[in-house]
Amino acid sequence: MSSQKPASQTSSQRAAAAVIYIIAIVLLAVPVIEWVANAAPFYADPYDLALGLFNLPGRLFALVGFTLMFYQFILGVRIPALERVFSRATNLKRHQTLGKVGFILIVLHGIAILSYDWVLAGQFLFDLYRVLGMIALALLIIGVIPAWYFKKLKLPRKVWKTLHLSAYVVFPLGFFHARNLGTELATSWMVEGLFTILFVVFCLIVLFRLYTLAVRK
């Protein structure tokens, strides 16, 4: 008996994959387009060097990084519907790649915004939502770096898994940080709505996974 999948199933998988790619591109394009709309007037007639070098790039890093971190979360939680379209190995590889890119962008965001605050005010600014962002960045580093160097660090799997799970707290902290400080979220109902939807989906998936773990026990 042939092990090949029926042509109709392959066709449906391709169609589903195309839809997923389009959705992913649109979700990423919405905040980027809003950022371009906000940044273009400044770059057309620059009047603040610090704004152009630190603040605006930092905001773009955050928008793209946050979205990519959502993607890597989705790819890492083994959603059955997604694994019917892409193999587990493919999803895991993309999870790792998007996680690395998203991590780098979030770190660059933190560096850029802290640099802007220092240039603008001569000091680092500490309010509630900036502190939330710093905590999120620290937890992200704790969760991601051990995953990158898992073999070299020779960490017990239980320790690595515990550190990696700390990254689950990063997304909600990052959302509330962005929700209260993000310029694009404050000026665009589309970006605010999009990020709120991503946050709600994240919470629903986490709650579902917690439920399934409780049922298994």
Residue-wise pLDDT tens digits, 84-142 = 889 889 998 998 899 899 999 999 999 999 999 999 878 888 888 899 999 999 988 88
b/e map of 36-67 (b: 16 or more CB within 10 Å)?
eebbeeeeeeeeeeebeebbbbbbbbbbbbbb
Rounded average pLDDT over 136-163: 76
Neighbours of 93 (CB within 10 A): 13
**Residue 194 pLDDT exceeds 80:** yes
Instruction: Provide the pLDDT for residue 5.
Output: 46
The structure's pTM equals: 0.86
More confident residue, 1 or 83: 83
Dihedral (Cα; 76, 63, 197, 137), 10-degree rounding? 60
Instruction: Provide the pLDDT for residue 150.
Output: 64
Instruction: Provide the pLDDT for residue 217.
Output: 63
Domain ranges of the chain: 7-216
Question: To the nearest whole percent, how much of the chain has pLDDT over 90?
Answer: 46
> Per-residue confidence at 45, pLDDT binned at 50, 70, 90?
confident
More confident residue, 26 or 77: 26
CATH number of the domain at 7-216, out of 3.20.20.140, 3.40.710.10, 1.10.3680.10, 1.20.120.1770?
1.20.120.1770
Neighbours of 181 (CB within 10 A): 18
| DSSP assignment string, 119-143 | HHHSS----HHHHHHHHHHHHHHHH
